[in-house]
Amino acid sequence: MLELPQQLINGLWQGAALALFAMGYTLVFGVLDIINLAQGATFMWGAFFAFICVTKLGWSLWFSIPVAMVGAGLLSILLDRLAFKPLRSLTSGGLVLWGGFIVLLVGMVGKWAFPVKTGITITGAAVMLVGFVLDYRSIRPLRIREVPHLAPIISSIGATFILVSLAINEFGAQVSRFPANLFPVKPYHITADAVISPIQTLVLILSLALMLVLSLLINRTQMGRAIRAIAWSERTSRLLGINVDYVIAQTFFISGALAGAAGVLLGLAFNRLEPTMGGEVELAGLTVIIVGGMGSIGGAAMAAFLVGMIRVLSVAYIDSSFRDAFVFALLILVLLIRPSGIFGRSKAVRA
């Protein structure tokens, strides 16, 4: 059993990566009032995007991380357009986008002759692209509705299934690993018997840097103000000249890129990539955003360190099978005693 300082270090870097995941999660909730349960699948795909870049394309890790973030961000926008936006407002472009997506799926599953499969896949992708443009340029939706609370949850569970099975198709259900020599392994000594490995240091530093960037983006830029304006009132935002659909797409991009970054970093640190790796972080992330106060970015960051510590300490001092049990206990406790969260004000997307 390891000493306490070592456990605190582990809790710190794992908490930092969890914070990235949770901040994106809570950002989307703050703006749209939906829980995007496919955030875990985006996290997983972020890790695999980097994996493809490093192993298949032979790119350096430093280049692969931002590429994976952009990939996960775009995936997140796509999820919004397919799974959430049609629930808010259905446009003719959205219907074309859906049609293209179904064609794309048909092209990607099954074992047809190669050229036929490729042809269908490319057609689907092209139709989707047209749908995207039409959807973006549409002046009026065919219908706007009040979204029932359950619908986005079901949508995003469905999206998770699709994303996980695509990953299993592509990478197999077993564990994939980055090449072993990717990163130096000689640990730094913090104290005599507390160490942190270079990769863990990278996770900690990059996570903290991204948290800082997000905080500046949300609080100091016109884009961040527009995101918070929409969280407050969509109607007023429109009167101010804010293109709400565009800003929502930006929000999903940021959220997905953060989840993707968390996926790459944790995937690297444990060197374990599996299609189901999003499930575990999903529970931790959900706990974090509830404990942090739904929609509060600063609250999520702080709660992430708390949950990270609890996970690490329960593994070290009790038993690894209790890890999720303690996280769950915290979740229930907060829901019973203070449902608005420990750290943040609810709603109002604040840092």
Partner 1 sequence: MLKVRDLYSSYGAIAALKGVSFEVPHGSVVALVGANGAGKSTTLNTVSGLLRPDSGSIRFEDRDIAGWRADKVAALGLVQVPEGRQILGGLTVEENLLLGAYTRKDSEVAKDLDETYLRFPVLKNRRRQIADLLSGGEQQMLAFGRALMSRPKLLMLDEPSLGLAPLIVQEVFKIISELKERTTILLVEQNARKALEIADYAYVLEGGRVAQEGPATELQNDSRIVEAYLGRKH
Q: Which of 165, 174, 191, 243 binds partner 1 (CB under 8 A)?
A: 243
- Give the interface segment with partner 1, choosing from 53-61, 84-92, 173-181, 341-349 (CB under 8 A): 341-349
Would you count residue 346 as binding partner 1 (CB under 8 A)? no
Going by C-alpha positions, the residue among 351, 349, 265, 350 that lies closest to residue 33 is 349
Would you count residue 240 as binding partner 1 (CB under 8 A)? yes
CA 95, CA 141: separation in Å to the nearest integer?
A: 11
Q: Which of 165, 169, 233, 320 binds partner 1 (CB under 8 A)?
A: 233
Residue 145 vs 325, nearer CB to partner 1: 145
**In the complex, least distance from residue 24 CB atom to partner 1, rounded to whole angstroms:** 20
**In the complex, least distance from residue 254 CB atom to partner 1, rounded to whole angstroms:** 18
Largest Cα span, the chain: 66
Q: Which residues contact 156 (CB under 8 A, 6 or more apart)?
A: 34, 35, 36, 37, 38, 79, 83, 84
CA 219, CA 208: separation in Å to the nearest integer?
A: 16
Report residue 184: phi and psi, to 5°: -60, 150
**In the complex, least distance from residue 240 CB atom to partner 1, rounded to whole angstroms:** 5
Would you count residue 146 as binding partner 1 (CB under 8 A)? no
Q: Which of 111, 241, 336, 337 binds partner 1 (CB under 8 A)?
A: 241
* Residue that the structure tokens 């060197």 belong to: 271
SS3 for 339? coil
Contact 69, 46 (CB under 8 A): yes
Q: Which of 239, 321, 336, 337 binds partner 1 (CB under 8 A)?
A: 239
Contact 25, 269 (CB under 8 A): no
| Residues within window 23-82 making contact with partner 1, judged by CB under 8 A | none
**In the complex, least distance from residue 326 CB atom to partner 1, rounded to whole angstroms:** 33
Contact 167, 45 (CB under 8 A): yes
- Give the interface segment with partner 1, choosing from 21-29, 79-87, 167-175, 218-226 (CB under 8 A): 218-226
Burial class of 299 by CB neighbour count within 10 A (0 to 12, 13 to 18, 19+):
buried
**In the complex, least distance from residue 94 CB atom to partner 1, rounded to whole angstroms:** 16
Residue 238 vs 338, nearer CB to partner 1: 238
Structure tokens at 348: 């109002």
What would the x/- binding string for partner 1 be over residues 169 to 208, using CB under 8 A? ----------------------------------------
Going by C-alpha positions, the residue among 254, 54, 78 that lies closest to residue 156 is 78
Query: If binding means CB under 8 A, how many residues of this protein chain bind partner 1?
Result: 23
SS3 for 200? helix
Would you count residue 110 as binding partner 1 (CB under 8 A)? no
**In the complex, least distance from residue 227 CB atom to partner 1, rounded to whole angstroms:** 11
Residue 216 vs 332, nearer CB to partner 1: 216
Would you count residue 244 as binding partner 1 (CB under 8 A)? yes
CA 248, CA 258: separation in Å to the nearest integer?
A: 15
What does the binding site for partner 1 look like in residue numbers (CB under 8 A)? 139-140, 222, 225-226, 228-229, 231-233, 235-236, 238-244, 347-350
